[in-house]
Amino acid sequence: MRLPLRAKVFLLFAVTALLIVVPALLLIARAVERGVYERARDELDLAAASVQSQWDDRDLLLSVAARGNANDNRIVEAWLAGNLRGVQRILRQGLEKDIPFVIDSTGKFISGPHLPAQAMEAGTNGGSSIALPADSAAEPIQFALADVWADTVRLGRVGVGRRVSAKGIAKDVKRVNTLVVLMVGDSVIGTTLSDTARAQLSRADLRVLRNAPNAGARQVTAGERYYMAVPVNVAARGLPATVILMRPIADELQVANAIKTSLWGIGVAALILALVLAAVVARIVARPTQALAEASVRMARGDFSAPLPRIGPDEIGQLARAFGEMRRAIADREGRLRSAQAEMIHREKLAAMGRLVAQLSHEINNPIYNIQNCLEALERRGDPNDPNREFLVLAQEELARMASLTRRLLDQSRPQSDAAALLDLNALVHRVLTLAGTELRTRGIEIAAELGPDVPSVVAHPEAIQQVLANLVANAGDAMPDGGRLRVATRSVDDTVEVVVEDTGAGISERDLPHIFEAFYTTKPGVTGTGLGLFVSEGIIRGHRGRIDVESSPGNGSRFTIRLPRETLDETLAEASDARELLAAD
């Protein structure tokens, strides 16, 4: 099914809007919800690190305090004196919240709450331990004990303990919205949760959290309340103790859901607006493009009068303007193309003629030289007084003229590449004018040389270029038999170097102008011209990848312009040596 441009543009905008708006909304909604969980995780991680750090610090302080008291001489002396009250008094000095422990050698508690024997052994002479006092209603105690020795006699044990509670841990954490659940063994000893939340909290979820301390924060549910929770295993000795830190996220999730709802509303509104804009843009774009398409179809049929859309400052207007300029330029380009095709055909004809002339000249030269040799032999052997000797001399002169003619025909070939060199055109022009200057001045011709100071050297065949310039200067002199002015100028234009030869002679008629570069075509009277000078010159310049242009009209003189590229000779000039090599071989 072929859709019009308007429908294609509309569908393109609609699909683009869907592909942009819907994924963007999904990503934003997901990012909002993920942000709630990440923020909760970050805060719980900080709280967990704080709990672990404080527990480790307390463990160290209790252990150091217990060992320091066990090694206190005052305590040993009071113990040996049987003054256990004095021991208690010494232990209580400096203690505010801590609980002193005094236990005799039989395991009797003199001071401090009663602890299980197994817990006492775990908390003696090492790190701290945690235990539940015999009174089950009491809070668990983190304690450290150390043996008191008198020489080799163990007097008993002293130590320091501190009660552990969920409220105390929450107070130490100092994090807003962070709730604490304290578990010792499988029992929940204390919590800062509300009674309703504590009743709805699954003990199985707490056990899973306690048994996976390295799993990080995870979501737990208490009724309809959602929490992020992370466990911290704090007791390495005695009963296993775990502090579970919980952070409620229900309110934040509710806010996130409200944000997502708002985003979806905004997204739907943006999508509707995008579709409306797509329809408007489709109409704006399609109408002028349809007009341009119709104009291009009519232009292909040769009709250049089709109306174009209104030209405005936008891209469509620029396109319409460019289309109009292109349409106007096509006719001009067609004319130039026809002219270029005619020029190319003419050059191909000249090139083919040059190759043919070179081959014919080569073939004609051999019998001419043989006849010349025969005539020279007859001249040497003949009678100097023979009246027919005059015809022999005439025959030799005509053969010499024919040999000169064939040599000039060969010169129309391009120069040999091995003779190419860097050529200073200004110096070459000065040389040609110096050689021809005397004769020109005797004819009353004024010579003006305008040599450009910035003309670069070119790679060319010096003798061939000199032949071209000499031929043009000679033709200019022949065109001014009663005197005049000869101007030769050099200049650099873009990537070309130009040599201009201009005279004030009789000029060339419009009828002769298209044929002056053809072989044997001449406008000179009688036998003074062979019609090969310009033909050969054009072939030489064409062999250098250049061209000769002429401007002339009767009575206004002529201007010949030689244009040579700055880099003229390359491997293509090697082909120009073929005709000369054939001649040299014979």
CB neighbourhood size of 570 (10 A):
11
In three-state form (DSSP H/G/I as H, E/B as E, the rest C), the secondary structure along 323-377 is HHHHHHHHHHHHHHHHHHHHHHHHHHHHHHHHHHHHHHHHHHHHHHHHHHHHHHH
pLDDT digits (tens, 9 = 90+) for 347-400: 677 667 667 766 777 677 778 777 878 877 777 777 777 777 777 777 877 777
- Measured CA to CA, the distance from residue 200 to residue 223 in angstroms comes to 5
| pLDDT of 422 higher than 60 | yes
Residue 386: the pLDDT is: 75
Most confident of the ranges 2-11, 52-61, 484-493: 484-493
Residues 6+ apart with CB under 8 A from 529: 522, 523
Q: What is the mean pLDDT of the chain?
A: 78
Give Cβ neighbours of residue 344 (< 8 Å, ≥ 6 apart): none
- The candidate with the shortest Cα–Cα distance to 302, out of 334, 342, 266, is 334
Give the chain's domains with CATH numbers. 71-164 (3.30.450.20), 310-408 (1.10.287), 411-585 (3.30.565.10)
pLDDT digits (tens, 9 = 90+) for 397-417: 777 777 766 766 665 554 444
CA distance 179 to 193: 6
* Range with the poorest average pLDDT among 244-248, 456-460, 505-509, 570-574: 570-574
- Ranking 329-338, 483-492, 494-503 by mean pLDDT, the lowest is 329-338
Which band of pLDDT confidence, cut at 50, 70 and 90, is reported for residue 495?
Answer: confident
Instruction: Say what the pTM is.
Output: 0.44
CA angle 155, 161, 164 (to 5 degrees): 155
Cβ(353)–Cβ(579) under 8 Å? no
User: What average pLDDT score do residues 521-542 get?
Assistant: 67
The encoded tokens of residue 565 equal 């590229």
pLDDT tens-digit map of 203-258: 666 666 666 656 667 777 776 778 888 888 876 577 788 888 888 887 777 777 78
Indicate the pLDDT class of residue 314, thresholds 50, 70 and 90. low
503, two tokens? 């005279």
Q: Are 143 and 159 in contact (CB under 8 A)?
A: yes
pLDDT at 415 (0 to 100): 45
At residue 344, the pLDDT reads: 73
- What DSSP character marks residue 416? P
- Are the C-beta atoms of residues 311 and 317 closer than 8 Å to each other? yes
Q: What is the pLDDT of residues 36-82, one digit of tens each?
A: 888 888 888 888 888 888 888 888 888 888 898 888 899 888 888 88
